[in-house]
Structure 1
Amino acid sequence: MRQWADFSLVEGEGGGEGTTLAIEGPLRVHAIGDLDRRLEQLDHPFNRVDLSGVTEIDTTGAWLAWQFAEDHDAEIVGESEQARRLIAAISSVEDRPYDPPPEPGPIKRVAAETGEIVAGWGTGFVAVLGFLGATLSSFGSIIAHPGRMRWKALVRQMQLVGVNSLPIIGLMSFLIGIVIAQQGAVQLAQFGAEIYTINLTGRLSLRELGILMTAIMVAGRSGSAFAAQIGTMNLTEEIDAMRTIGVSPMEALVVPRVLAAMLMMPLLGFYSAVLAIIGGAFISAFALDIPFFTFLSRIQEVVPIHDLWIGLIKGPVFGLIVSLAGCYHGMQVKGNAEEVGLRTTQAVVTAIFTVIVLDAFFAIFFSELGWE
């Protein structure tokens, strides 16, 4: 029995003109070898393709015989029932060239991309609201059953969010206070009102920049850590394991982080404002000849107490936003390690953007209340 497919040429068989191509042996993919290349080199006029000598055939062999017959306008004869079915199936498939759809115009493409982004925002907003609801539900469950609160985890997160942030937030706030006082003095000097640099530094630090810059720093430092930690646990299926043994991930992971951020943010904001004022007093002692302690005592006279309360009120809200963004995006990690980096970036961007928008809302809200 032949192990490889081969062919022979029979001249004028059947009383007609032309040549008959007789294929013999197993016409299967593993036995074709270079048969297709040798058939392409034939330039005879063929009127028949004889498959009576074919012992086995598969789809590849049927396609080879059918294609040769089509190229030479020849008739296939002597085929077996299996070969007939395969050739009929192959010949019924229309070879339609792929016609790609036309490219949309720039206006349509921009509109479509904008719509996808807006739809994504809407979907994300609904998902975040659902996550907030789940967090509040977990808070309620812990209040009803205080024994389920993980106090050690809460203290640990308070240390990570608050105590470990003191050096970087203190340095940043001190330098920002220097910048505010120095630039404010330059502008106020045009009107001979350098003394009002104290008002500018004190009110801006306590009311706005202290808590705002602290929230941005915590978002970049702790919010990203929340997303990366929870995202990695999600990726390694630790969170699924917690659910399997009956531990709620919301109560074990999310609640301590959210509560720690809400508790520490007002304290960090106040600490940041104090360091900014000290930085302003430091530069004023050199640039404006205002004694250091005179600057600090003057702060008590020119800064109304409601500026302090405004900063403290913003603190828990900003802490909730930062921690919620980090935990939410961490919980959404799926697939691979690249998703952890992507979600961490999204957590920081979402937190900073939302904090700035809310700060603008608070500015208008407190102005309407008369706290100006």
Structure 2
Amino acid sequence: MNGAAQYTLDETADGGAQLALSGPFLISSVGAVDHELFRISGPIREIEVSGIDDIDTTGAYVIVRLASDHDARITGASNSLQRVLDAIDRSGNDVDIGPDRPPVWKRVPIEMGEKVYAARSGVYGVVGFFGLIMLGMGNLMRRPRSFPMKALVHQMELVGVAALPIIGLMSFLIGVVIAQQGAVQLEQFGAEALTVNLVGRLTLRELGVLMTAIMVAGRSGSAFAAQIGTMKLTEEVDAMRTIGISPIEVLVIPRILACTFMMVLLGFYASMVAIVGGAVVGQLALGIPFFTFLERIQEVVPTYDLWVGLIKAPVFGLIVALAGCYHGMQVKGNSEEVGRRTTMAVVSAIFAVIVLDAFFAVFFTEIGWG
């Protein structure tokens, strides 16, 4: 075929093979025979290149590599062709293109240390970010007219009102599950009536607020990170600074306040709906009348259980909003960073909420609210 690299393969007397190459061995033509040449399995003793009429570095690399793989000699090369082949041969080396990988007993501690150091830097960043929020709050308190009230009300609607259906459904099902599973276990001891105690104390004290915080982290915390992160990429945040508007005061503080305040209402709402779910199970499965179940809740659940949930709720809301806004403000580079920071915001918020919930459990037990 004219204009294309060609080859012929002939056997030699010693059981090997002679490979004769011809035609132009250029980047535009060598692709037609490249794969076929490197699929030759038998030993090649000699590569005859006198038939090559044009060559570039790509073609020369194919010939040199083929000769190296088969330990073959190259014959019939003209002076100019030989210079190209020698230059390609000298440019090759056996040095590894990547560093040596340390053994696992070294690699694991090194990676753990890097993670700990990164976490340390993250803690410093969050503390500094919280300090900026405090400064922004101070500025707004000195200038009450500049407070972004419309933004606050809008965020309260998004965080609180818009979340009522999904949080209500989740809480109702949690109440149903707690009552049903609790009744099954308590039935073994003839104490089905204590299902009321289980549902009331568990939802008001722990699961109502905790599950609401996790839902808000996945729903609103991720939205905060994505919204602010996108504004960072499109340079809207920089534009706000340029015209003298503080992004902390306009973007972050309304979200922080809305999430902190609405978590109290959402946590209380979730606990009430969960109790209603437990009362439905009590009516249908345990024979406890619906309103009797609700009246019994008031008798068996101490008031401080309600206060425990209400105290934890704003702290959880602050953590969720702080994580979302912080990671949103850290976005830079490209759109992939938005997704990464959004994921980090949700994961870090849920982790912090669970750790704080464990701390609160120990604290309230120590002060006699156990």
User: Is the TM-score greater than 0.5?
Assistant: yes
Counterpart in the other structure of 2:227: 229
Map Cα deviations across residues 206-240 of structure 1 (whole Å, 9 max, x no partner): 11111001100000000000001001000101001
Q: How does 1:38-187 map to 2 (within 5 A)?
A: 64=83, 97-99=94-96, 101-187=99-185
Corresponding letter in the other structure for 1:348 = V
Tell me the matched-pair count. 303
Q: Pick closer, same or farther for the CA change 1:346–1:35 going to 2, 3 Å.
A: closer
- How far apart are the structure 1 equivalents of 2:159 and 2:56? 73
Partner residue of 1:196 out of 194, 197, 215: 194
Shift of 1:102: 3.2
1:35 to partner: Cα distance: 8.8
Change (3 A) 1:241 1:35: closer
The change in CA–CA distance for 1:222 and 1:66 in structure 2 (over 3 A counts) is: closer
Does the alignment pair 1:287 with 2:285? yes
Compared CA separation, residues 64 and 176, structure 1 to 2 (3 A): same
How many Å separate the matches in 1 of 2:56 and 2:359? Answer: 78
For 1:338, the equivalent position in structure 2 comes to: 336
Counterpart CA distance in 2 for 1:229 and 1:103 is 40
Change (3 A) 1:43 1:185: closer
Q: 1:35 to 1:321 in 2, by over 3 A?
A: closer
What's 1:5 paired with?
A: none
Select between 316-325 and 100-109 the one with higher mean Cα deviation: 100-109
Q: Report the structure number with the largest CA radius of gyration.
A: 1
1:235-274 pair list within 5 angstroms? 235-274=233-272
Superposed CA deviations along residues 52-80 of structure 1, whole A, max 9, x for unmatched, are xxxxxxxxxxx959958xx9xxxxxxxxx
**What is the identity percentage for the equivalent residue pairs of Structure 1 and Structure 2?**
64
Shift in Å, 1:118? 1.1
Match of residue 307 from structure 1: 305
Classify the secondary structure of the residue corresponding to 2:211. Answer: helix
Q: Deviations 1:118-145 (Å, cap 9, x if unpaired)?
A: 1111111111111111111111111121
Deviation at 1:310, TM superposition (A): 0.7
- C-alpha change, 1:164 and 1:96, in structure 2 (3 Å) is same
Q: Structure 1 CA distance, aligned partners of 2:84 and 2:317?
A: 74
Offset at 1:103? 2.5
The equivalent residue for 1:348 is 346
Give, in whole Å, the separation in 2 of the partners of 1:280 and 1:65: 84
1:320-339 matches, cutoff 5 A: 320-339=318-337
How far 1:355 moved relative to its partner?
A: 0.3
Question: Which amino acid in 2 is paired with 1:338?
Answer: E
5+ residue gaps, structure 2: 1-53, 61-73
- How far apart in 2 are the matches of 1:35 and 1:243? 55
Q: Match for 2:200: what amino acid?
A: G
What is the root-mean-square deviation in Å for CA atoms of aligned residues?
A: 2.6
Give every structure 1 segment of 4 or more consecutive aligned residues whose post-TM-superposition deviation is greater than 4 Å. 33-37, 40-44, 63-68, 93-97
Between stretches 268-277 and 330-339, larger displacement belongs to: 330-339
CA drift of 1:112 comes to 1.2
Which residue pairs with 2:203 in the alignment?
Answer: 205
Letter in 1 for 2:276: I
Render the CA deviation track for 1:265-304: whole Å, top value 9, x for unaligned.
0110000000000000001101110000000001111111
Distance in 1, matches of 2:55 and 2:279, equals: 90
Give 1:41 shift: 5.9
Residues 135-186 of structure 1: per-residue CA shift (max 9 Å, x gap):
1111111112111210000000000000000000001000100000011111
2:276 matched residue in structure 1? 278
Cα distance change on mapping 1:288 and 1:130 into 2, 3 Å: same
2:95 partner amino acid: Y
Distance 1:355 1:152 in 2: 29
Cα distance in structure 2, aligned partners of 1:292 and 1:34:
90
The alpha carbon displacement at 1:191 in A equals 0.7
* Deviation per residue, 1:322-343 (Å, 9 max, x gap): 0000001101111111111111
Aligned-partner Cα distance in 1 for 2:215–2:102: 43
Query: Does the C-alpha gap of structure 1 residues 103 and 177 become closer, same or farther in structure 2, counting only changes over 3 Å?
Result: same
